[in-house]
Structure 1
Amino acid sequence: MNFMSFKIPDGIGSLVNLSTLSMSRNNFSGGIPSSIQNLTNLENNSGLSGEIPTWLFRLQKLRKLRLGGNKLQWNNNGSIFPQSKLTHLSLSSCGLEGKIPDWLKNQTDLSFLDLSLNRLEGSFPKWLADLKMGNIILSDNRLSGSLPPSLFQSLRLFVLALSRNNFSGHIPNTVGETSLMILKLSENNFSGSVPKSIANIYRLLWLDLSKNKLSGEFPRFSQDSLLALLDISSNEFSGDVAASFGLNTVSLTMSRNNFSGEFTKLSFLKHLDLHDNKIAGMFPSFISRLSQSLEVLSLRNNSLKGSITEDISTLTSLKVLDLFENSLDGTLPSNLGNLTGMVESPTSSSSIVSSFISEITDLSETESQDLEVIWKRVKQVISNRNFYLYTVLDLSKNKLRGEIPTSLGNLKSLKLLNLSHNDIYGSIPQSFGGLEKLEILDVSYNNLSGKIPQTLSWMFWI
């Protein structure tokens, strides 16, 4: 990475033996010099700015063309007659308008296509589905209509990312016939049930169907499934949450649905978000089914009952525990202070998604698995990449009673501690002076008495 900002010299065209030209992540001024068309051996061209000239596609040996960037503009979408046979094409954020360019029909060697972050309209063309590409990334456009069933009848399709468009209709029943590893259809208008055949995609690793209008029961995956990341939040799914997931599952985001019942044992899970559902039952029965490697547990706004038992201390990796607005009662167990994930300050900024995705693909859009919390009494979303900055314990709006255990003062990495809207009495422990990372402490709407510890008098609301 550099930050060079001069104009690309015309003399670059004299480098006639050049086969690879990469100028990405700079701030070059001016347009693409016409002398580049003299580089007849050019195979890889990336990182330029200005208007995209049509002569680029007359470079017969050009195989990989990456021109993504906010400074690029595409002003001649319809008069392209490429003489090159591209294998990779990325025109992300190039101001493309209208329909998906039909000159792509003849690019039969194309395996990677990224036209994301443009203003493309119209439907997903059948001819594009029939090209049998490995990677198709069309997220953040204005595409609409239903998906052609033939799109999923390819064993070559590796990544399909269509998030944040206006696609609608049902997910085709042929979805199970593909060999996808990454399927991202979030923030569209898909409706109906998810075909059960989706669980037959033997190498599916990441599935994101969030923010659609999907309903019914979610398909069950076998124990030997490779599925690692699942986000089906903000839909209309219902039924028992105990749908089966494979032993490789590390992140489940299933919030804002109509799931009920209890959930099955999940041995290797690190992230479980079930907030805003209809999960019922006694809280203790959940603990034995959760992985000791669990880092995020959000069951906010459900119907859990019973007391928080001593078993909670087995979740030693927890960094976020959000039980806001349930019907939990009983006293706070003293060994809450033994949650070592909230004691030791994190030392790494790695996230589940970013570390996982870097191992399998160069896909740029790695958003997903974000977490919603109540921060300063307002709902805020914590990005997955910033989880390491937040350690949260929220037990507010329940029916908890008794005194605050002094052991909570051991949780030295806590950023937020919310015990408000309960029936807690006694005084605030002096040990809270050791909560050196604390930014928010909310103990309002309880029956506390006594004085505020001097070390905390500046930091919280009562």
Structure 2
Amino acid sequence: MNLKEIDLSFNNLSVVVDADWIQPFRLESAGFASCHLGPLFPVWLRQQLLHITKLDISSTGLVGNIPDWFWSFSKAASLDMSYNQLNGNLPTDMSGMAFLELNLGSNNLTGQMPPFPRNIRKLDISNNSFSGIMPHKIEAPLLQTLVVSSNQIGGTIPESICELKNLLFLDLSNNLLEGEIPQCSDIERLEFCLLGNNNLSGTFPAFLRNCTSMVVLDLAWNNLSGRLPSWIRELYSLQFLRLSHNSFSGNIPSGITSLSCLQYLDLSGNYFSGVIPPHLSNLTGMTMKGYCPFEIFGEMGFKFDDIWLVMTKGQQLKYSLGLVYFVSIDLSGNGLTGEIPLGITSFDALMNLNLSSNQLGGKIPNKIGAMMSLESLDLSINKLSGEIPWSLSNLTSLSYMNLSYNNLSGRIPSGRQLDTLNADNPSLMYIGNSGLCGPPLQNNCSGNGSFTPGYYHRSNRQKIEFASFYFSLVLGFVVGLWMVFCALLFMNTWRVAYFGLLDELYNKIYVFVAVKWASMTMSAAAE
């Protein structure tokens, strides 16, 4: 037979053959992803390994150790054995193997990371139980993608990683790494840098200034400190920036508003102070007009699995590929002051806004109801005052809101989506605001009758129109009298009579206007 290529991937087929089956063909490419080959490692592959250059046996139910003969016979340039239950150690030296792409992610592999294959371009050993430290000397000059996340690797990041000039994608997140991040001045092509959830220290990495093509930067859950550099505005392509739960301090650089592609900003759990940068409207990536999720995920083979937890809707939620379309701002847990910038209401693509646990004052912007994509809003534990805008009732996508522990006052808006929030205990999202009244709180608002949005403004407008009518009437009457006065100036015989008449009319007009004005003032005070 001349069969050289077979691809049965994603069909949920079971491949069952006899152990002594001799294949009448020599495969060069074989794809069995999501088929059922296990639980035992398929022995029949041994006859094909000398010829196969591309092998995909991911998600095939394989259990147990990878047999030694597999590594001895394999000549594959591309191998994917991810999402199985393979365990054991890798060979102590893999530098001479032919792999260009090797994916062993999401298994139960243990032991130390061996030296990388010298010609490797993409290496993924994430979601295993590797321990120890990273190889001191990384000799893989062609390496573009290195994914080592979610293991138990400690020690420091080796300086030799700076020699990977072709590196586009680096993911060392969710490990036990410590020490400072190497200053890799020669790495300029880096587009994804994920170092979150380690014990890294030092300041914001200065070498990132050269990485103007950076798309995703995650340094969250480390021990980094110092100020954010003003040159962060030069990372023009940045779309995801997560620096949460570190010890960064100082003001949020105003230049951050120059990142027009930014759609995910998380600076929560730091020591930032000062005001929120005012020119937020420049972040067009958070609007429907400028919003454009990147497509490089497919090219790099990268997946947001359990490495990216998002604080939204009052809880941490796991986002996978859906994060590509998630638009969010989280500045919670800092020491920010001042008011909420009005420009934030232009973010009609924003889905999550969390400004809780700061010292923000002033009023909630009236136009907040224009953020039609908003699903989660948390402004709790601040110093906000004034009334809750009635425009919030326009947010039909809103499923979580927390305005508790502020200085808000007035009647609580109702209607549409607001009445469905936190159905079990709706008063929790308003607790700690002694000036609020009306359902769902027990505090009754003063005044009789039902209250509807805009009633107060319409009532005031009617009073103004009423006063304007009387003012126009009186003004017209006075003008008419002055015309008579001008005519009588030429008639001396009537001058005395005129002034007597003018004095009497003036007194009557004064009394009339004073009574009406007092009546309207008392009516407005009563309402």
**Into which bin does the TM-score normalised by the smaller protein fall?**
0.7 to 0.9
Q: Which residue identity is paired with 2:281?
A: G
Q: 1:12 — aligned with what?
A: none
Pick closer, same or farther for the CA change 1:55–1:130 going to 2, 3 Å.
Answer: farther
Q: Which residue in the other structure is 1:239 paired with?
A: 202
Which residue of 2 is the match for residue 166 of structure 1? 129
Residue correspondence of structure 1 range 38-437 to structure 2 within 5 A: 48-54=13-19, 58-75=23-40, 77=42, 82=47, 85-105=51-71, 107=73, 109-126=75-92, 130-149=96-115, 151-152=116-117, 154=118, 156-176=119-139, 179-223=142-186, 225-245=188-208, 247=210, 249=211, 267-282=212-227, 285-286=229-230, 289-308=233-252, 310-345=254-289, 348-354=292-298, 356-357=299-300, 366-367=303-304, 371-383=308-320, 385-437=321-373
Contact kept, 8 Å, 2:200 with 2:222, in 1: the verdict is no
Summarize deviations over 1:138-188 as a string: whole Å, max 9, x none: 222222222444x44x3x333322222222222223323553232222222
Q: Which whole-Å deviations, capped at 9, do the CAs of 1:271-298 have from their partners, x for residues lacking one? A: 3333333444456x43655423332233
Q: Is the 8 A contact 2:173 2:195 kept in 1?
A: yes
The 1-side partners of 2:254 and 2:190 are apart by 32
The CA RMSD measured in Å over matched residues stands at: 3.3
Count residues in correspondence.
Answer: 397
| TM-score, with structure 2 as normaliser | 0.65
Q: Quick one: distance in 2 between partners of 1:332 and 1:75? A: 58
Q: Which moved more, 1:315-324 or 1:329-338?
A: 329-338
How far is the alpha carbon of 1:375 from its aligned partner?
0.3
Distance 2:206 2:276 in 1: 31
Structure 1 or 2: larger helix share? 2
- Residue 57 of structure 1: CA displacement? 5.8
The higher radius of gyration belongs to: 2
Q: 2:510 matched to which residue of 1?
A: none
The AA in structure 2 aligned to 1:406 is L
Runs of at least 5 residues in structure 1 that lack an aligned partner in the other structure: 1-15, 28-47, 250-266, 358-362
Q: Secondary structure at the match of 1:104?
A: helix
**CA 1:69–1:57 in 2, change beyond 3 Å: closer, same or farther?**
farther
Name the amino acid aligned to 1:61.
Answer: R
- Quick one: which amino acid aligns to residue 137 of structure 2? T
Deviations 1:109-152 (A, max 9, x none): 43222222222222212576544332332222222222444x44
Q: Which runs of 5+ in 2 are unaligned?
A: 404-527
Please tell me whether the aligned partners of residues 75 and 98 of structure 2 are also in contact (alpha carbons under 8 angstroms): no
CA distance in 2, matches of 1:145, 1:345: 49
Match of 2:378 among 415, 432, 442: 442
SS in 1 for 2:316: strand
- Deviation digits for residues 311-332 of structure 1, max 9, x if unmatched? 4432332222223233334444
- Residues 176 and 170 (structure 1 numbering): CA distance in 2 closer, same or farther, change over 3 Å? same
| 1:52-97 residue CA offsets vs partner (Å, 9 max, x unmatched) | 5546662342222222215333546568751663222222222333
The aligned residue for residue 461 of structure 1 is 402
Return the letter of the residue paired with 1:297: L
- Which protein, 1 or 2, shows the higher relative CO under an 8 Å CA cutoff with sep ≥ 6? 1
| Aligned-partner Cα distance in 1 for 2:44–2:274 | 72
Distance 1:54 1:273, change over 3 A: same
Q: Is the 8 A contact 1:180 1:201 kept in 2?
A: yes
- 8 Å Cα contact 1:168/1:190 also seen in 2: yes
Q: Is the 8 A contact 1:273 1:299 kept in 2?
A: yes
